[in-house]
Amino acid sequence: MRPQLPPMLMAILFIGSLLLPAAGARACACGCGIFSVGAGNMLPSTLGNGTELFASVGYLDQTRDWSGSASAPASANADKNIRNLFQTVGVQTFFNRDWGLRVELPYWQRHFTTLDDAGQPVSFDHGALGDLRVLGLYTGFSPDRSSGLMFGAKLATGDWTYPNFDRDTEIGTGTTDLLLGGYHQWKFGADGAWGAFVQTMADLPAGSRAGYRPGKELDTAFGVYPQGWDIGGTHLTPVLQALLSLRGKDSGVQADPDHSGYQRLVAAPGMELAWRRLRVDLSVGVPVYQHVNGNQLVAPWQGSLNLSYAL
């Protein structure tokens, strides 16, 4: 029997695709939101009492200039390097079988190299708290919580005023955004020997701040994995996943719409290790396809590490 996505999750994916304009980025073709979906993120734990503490690290080093769907000469872009270290801590808890809450507090470190007005390279390093994310979770569609909805907001707590960064390079956007998403996971194969999941999250800015409104963004992860193996008390599971990121153009007098917005598909195989109530998820992603507006910096690979502990 072919697995079917819940109608509500299908609606989210469809509405998200309508909300996002086609993207066809000067500095920040970042794709930061892609680290919020995928193996180990937001799916409810089967361990403990329904409360998890988690920490994650994502790494992205944007060194290549890109235009449209192809590499572009470095001379076409004044920006030369954006190196990112995304660090997040948080808690996810369920008050009962159906309702839960997730809070994520990010701290980002960013290195930015660009050309000044005289054409000389200058570099800046800045670290600050990012935009706090607060999400409600609903998992009451089925007894096994295999499907769920996520809804909430990204708050304007991040630093968006660092003088040496452009607005599209700042750690915070300065805006409050609506977050809307969902997930579905299922088993297939003989005796349910394989599992799969799809997870999506739309980030929809509710307004602008000081002449800048970030583009709408839709991030989706698709994954498949075997039952895995028990090795010395540790359960090891390989995960094959694909990450799709769609971002619309920025707008406002402080934005650069001609060089913002992108579409990206990333192959991100990974591994999950579970030991008692501790879970570790590691993945490394390589772009399979990417299309950007104008000239933007992109990364040849990305990596993420997620740790969670079920109380």
Asked if the structure places residue 1 within a domain, the reply is: no
Asked if the structure places residue 213 within a domain, the reply is: yes
The whole-model pTM stands at 0.88
- Residues sharing a CB contact under 8 Å with residue 262, sequence separation 6 or more, in sequence order: 23, 24, 25, 29, 31, 245, 246, 247, 290, 291, 292, 293, 296
| Dist CA 35 CA 284 (whole Å) | 11
Asked if the structure places residue 303 within a domain, the reply is: yes
Asked if the structure places residue 114 within a domain, the reply is: yes
- Please report the pLDDT score of residue 6 as a whole number: 52
The three-state secondary structure class of 122 is strand
Q: What is the pLDDT of residues 3-21, one digit of tens each?
A: 444 554 455 444 444 444 4
Q: What is the pLDDT of residues 207-248, one digit of tens each?
A: 999 999 999 999 999 999 999 999 999 999 999 999 999 999
Q: What is the pLDDT of residues 113-151, one digit of tens each?
A: 999 999 999 999 999 999 999 999 999 998 888 999 999
| Dist CA 54 CA 74 (whole Å) | 38
What CATH number should be reported for the domain holding residue 59? 2.40.160.40
Asked if the structure places residue 38 within a domain, the reply is: yes
- Please report the pLDDT score of residue 10 as a whole number: 53
Q: Contact, 25 vs 260, CB < 8 A?
A: yes
Residue range of the domain that includes 93: 7-310
Asked if the structure places residue 187 within a domain, the reply is: yes
pLDDT > 70 fraction of the chain, expressed in percent and rounded: 87
- The position carrying tokens 């794709």 is 31
Range 45-48 contact pairs with CB under 8 angstroms and sequence separation of 24 or more? 45/92, 45/279, 45/308, 45/310, 47/277, 47/279, 47/310, 48/277, 48/310, 48/311
Asked if the structure places residue 2 within a domain, the reply is: no
- Please report the pLDDT score of residue 20 as a whole number: 44
Q: Is residue 255 predicted with pLDDT exceeding 60?
A: yes
Number of domains in the chain: 1
Asked if the structure places residue 198 within a domain, the reply is: yes
Residue from 304, 310, 307 nearest 241 by CA = 304
Residue type, 20: L
